[in-house]
Amino acid sequence: MTSSRALGACLCLCAFAADAAEVVHNRRLESGQTVAHALRASGLDDATTERVLSALEGVFEFRKARPGDQVRVVLSDGVLDFLDYRRGPQDEWLVRRDGDRLVAAKREIEVEKRLAVVELEVTSSIWEAALAAGEDPSIATDLADVFAWDIDFYRDVQRGDRARALIEKFVSKGRVLRYGDVLAASYVGSTVGKKRVFRYELPGGARSFFLEDGSSARKTFLKSPLKYAQLTSGFGMRFHPILNYVGAHNGVDYGTPVGTPVWAVADGTVLRAGWDKGGGNMICIRHFNSLETCYLHLSKLGDGVRPGARVSQKQVIGLSGSTGMSTGPHLHFALKRGGAFINPLSQKFPRADPVPADLRSDFAVKIAPLAARLDAVPVAAMGLVPEQPE
């Protein structure tokens, strides 16, 4: 039978093969839609829909069906030939005819986890460096996340800086499906110097990043109030903060496009969240040691960010904007101690707890191979390296 598989995935398409009345329906589950809805919308009558659902019973978890899942129904002369249901690249179910019965099974898709060293050289931004290296640019946000306490990926990144990540890649049929965890990362830059971090699992299962000497990669405050996001602007944008200590306008201005995610630099409690004539949409958060941060001119406040709410470090609390008395898109960021403005760029914040003393030797043993992999000269530019046995 003529194959008619090369069909678009988003719309319900019908393709009639030349030699048989084969009809293929491709659909995506829409929000609020059940699997049954999608099957009926794909041309199955009620009786067949029922039979498909009972065949899937016990094989497929209907609760986990969600918008975006793909259903492909192949009818032959108006009768269901087979059907597949796809949820992401690794989860696929097949319902096929077996005599008069319909049988369902989960398809086994072989996915291999490999460790790979990804090396990026910055020409304009870390995002573009990832694209230039043929990687998924999400690795840029992964790196920014790992180094968030020491590197501001908007303003500290310079042309010629190099970043490396030892990262898990999930591969199927030679194609990288997605990244897994970052196990180690390094950054060498003209502004930030050399930074290396290693992931280590503490007793109890908590995983955290540490420097080579066992001190924590985390600090009480993040380096920047702007979460790194997809921005292709590179150095052209005015990301360099402008210190502005004139009159009541105390703080740092980060010129940034409207919509840049703003995150809480430290754990705390929201003191105020709402409209201010000068500050526009504005959020202030109280932290430990009578420290307080404020984020002004936002285009949007995050859900649930209201006075009294607890927020955690790295939580996106809003999006940058140009509301209130603002001459252009920017984030005004202010830090106070005991009610008095202080310069956020010159503060030194303490690191979180280091690797406990009794685990230091285990830590050293565990990170040694990671360090060796991270620092090794890559064999091929971006080649995949098979995972080594533990």
Cβ proximity to Zn ion: between 85 and 254 the closer is: 254
Cβ proximity to Zn ion: between 327 and 388 the closer is: 327
Min dist CB 38 to Zn ion, Å, is: 50
Applying CB under 5 A, the span of 102-110, 247-255, 335-343, 360-368 interacting with Zn ion comes to 247-255
Min dist CB 268 to Zn ion, Å, is: 21
Cβ proximity to Zn ion: between 142 and 253 the closer is: 253
Q: Quick check: 22 binds Zn ion (CB under 5 A)?
A: no
Min dist CB 373 to Zn ion, Å, is: 44
Contact 163, 186 (CB under 8 A): yes
Min dist CB 157 to Zn ion, Å, is: 23
Applying CB under 5 A, the span of 83-91, 194-202, 269-277, 325-333 interacting with Zn ion comes to 325-333
Min dist CB 152 to Zn ion, Å, is: 17
Cβ proximity to Zn ion: between 147 and 254 the closer is: 254
* Residue nearest Zn ion, Cβ-based: 332
Cβ proximity to Zn ion: between 287 and 330 the closer is: 330
Whole-angstrom Cα distance, residue 346 to residue 123? Answer: 28
Applying CB under 5 A, the span of 40-48, 194-202, 329-337, 353-361 interacting with Zn ion comes to 329-337
Size of the site for Zn ion (CB under 5 A): 2
- For residue 274, give both structure tokens: 């709402």
Cβ proximity to Zn ion: between 144 and 283 the closer is: 283
Applying CB under 5 A, the span of 55-63, 214-222, 284-292, 331-339 interacting with Zn ion comes to 331-339
Write the binding mask 249 to 288 for Zn ion: x where contact by CB under 5 A, - elsewhere: ----x-----------------------------------
Min dist CB 14 to Zn ion, Å, is: 57
Min dist CB 336 to Zn ion, Å, is: 15
| Integer angstrom CA distances of residue 183 from 65, 110, 146, 161, 348 | 32, 23, 10, 20, 27
Min dist CB 244 to Zn ion, Å, is: 5
Q: Quick check: 332 binds Zn ion (CB under 5 A)?
A: yes
CB-hemisphere CA count at 13 Å for 199? 18
Q: Quick check: 86 binds Zn ion (CB under 5 A)?
A: no
Residues that bind Zn ion (CB under 5 A): 253, 332
